[in-house]
Amino acid sequence: MFRLLFIGLLFAACATRAGEFPDSWTWDDASQAQAPRVLEGKPMPPLKLSGWLNGKVTPDDMKGKVVMLDFYTTWCPTCITDIPHNNALFEKYKSKGLVMIGICTSDQGLEDMPELVHAKKLKYPTALDLRLASLKAWKVSMFPTYALIDRKGTVRVISLKPEHLEEAIEKLLAEGT
């Protein structure tokens, strides 16, 4: 009896991680969005970034915080039009424990990142993924790709649609430390 209860509790704990957000909140219907979803419920892969603007974020800065990653390119229209929304989320939640990192990644247009950041008044820390190591580690193939990491460093959701970022951020912030 105890063994069945333990297995049931273990299953319930795992089920609250991977797939805990509604499928309608993510790009699950896009075949390119499927690959990064294998990271959900696992520790955050490392970020190998350089050329920081608006401040540098270190692993220590992320400890105990909810982290939002914004994988974007300088040539992606949606990435650019999402900047005001992302800025608003950053301003609203940074004092509540949110760390936001913009990751400019692609094999084209990286040299345009500083100009884009200044022209569009991007407020959150952003950096270059020069060797595309972060893009590969996170299995990103479409832009923008948003990922949320909880306070324990676990990837909770990736390929999140922009219109559901705030709800997902609030959920993770409400979990506390």
Domain residue spans in the chain? 21-174
Q: What local confidence, expressed as pLDDT, does residue 117 receive?
A: 97
Q: What local confidence, expressed as pLDDT, does residue 5 receive?
A: 37
Peptide bond into 144 cis (omega under 30): yes
pTM for this predicted structure: 0.85
Encode the chain (177 residues) as per-residue pLDDT tens digits.
444 333 343 333 443 344 687 776 676 655 554 556 789 999 999 999 999 999 999 999 999 999 999 999 999 999 999 999 999 999 999 999 999 999 999 999 999 999 999 999 999 999 999 999 999 999 998 899 999 999 999 999 998 889 999 999 999 999 976
Based on its alpha-carbon atoms, the radius of gyration of the chain, rounded to whole angstroms, reads 16
| Residue in the structure block whose two tokens are 């490392």 | 46
Instruction: Please name every residue paired with 154 in a beta bridge, in sequence order, or none if there are none.
Output: 43
Homologous superfamily (CATH) of 21-174 is Glutaredoxin (3.40.30.10)
